[in-house]
Amino acid sequence: MRNFIINLLIVLSSVFVFTGCKKYQPEFHKVKFEIEFYDVPPFGSSNALDVLCRPQYDDEPAVIHKEYASPGYVWDYEYWQLVDGEEIKFIVNPQLYYHFTMRVYIDDSLISERELVTSTVTYYSTYTLYMNGPNEDSDTEYSVIRFTYHE
């Protein structure tokens, strides 16, 4: 009888330890930032182009090489650890002559997009041609998509 009780305690302790102490594991989602170019600065024009994506990996930040930008070129950056309640921020800083669409996908579904053109005279001045989806900065002409992700 004593051996039975000891074995029962060992089994119950094992069950409790391995099943009762589960750690909270958040569900991760994929966010994809994308830029599709329709027009780029002519040769010899100022063509500075920067991008900011949040969230991003600390050891692998989003970088765009303006040398690759051409009509039809699609740039993208993926982050695979998006969690509920996290802020998404996508900013493009184009200098002159650019025409492009910014898009944000979550788990391969288009969530938000914004089509813009930049001035041919004033540096970093953009104008929104089309916008769809959530964007806390929808009231500006600045090339930004920002919202908080909720499952």
pLDDT of residue 118: 95
Residue 90 vs residues 6, 10, 19, 118, 137: alpha-carbon distances, Å = 60, 54, 41, 17, 11
Residue 19 has pLDDT above 90, yes or no: no
pLDDT of residue 14: 64
pTM, full prediction = 0.82
Which is nearest to 95 in space by CA: 40, 37, 52? 40
pLDDT tens-digit series, residues 95-125: 999 999 999 999 999 999 999 999 999 989 9
Residue 20 has pLDDT above 70, yes or no: no
pLDDT tens-digit series, residues 34-77: 999 999 999 888 889 999 999 999 999 999 998 899 999 999 99
pLDDT of residue 44: 84
Using CA atoms, how far apart are residues 151 and 132, in angstroms rounded to an integer?
19
pLDDT of residue 18: 59
Sequence-separated (6 or more) residues with CB below 8 Å from residue 41: 47, 95, 96, 97, 98
pLDDT of residue 52: 96
The residue with greater pLDDT, 41 or 19, is 41
Using CA atoms, how far apart are residues 38 and 47, in angstroms rounded to an integer?
14
> Angle at the Cα of 113 (from 104 to 83), degrees rounded to 5?
25
pLDDT of residue 26: 79
Residue 3 has pLDDT above 60, yes or no: yes
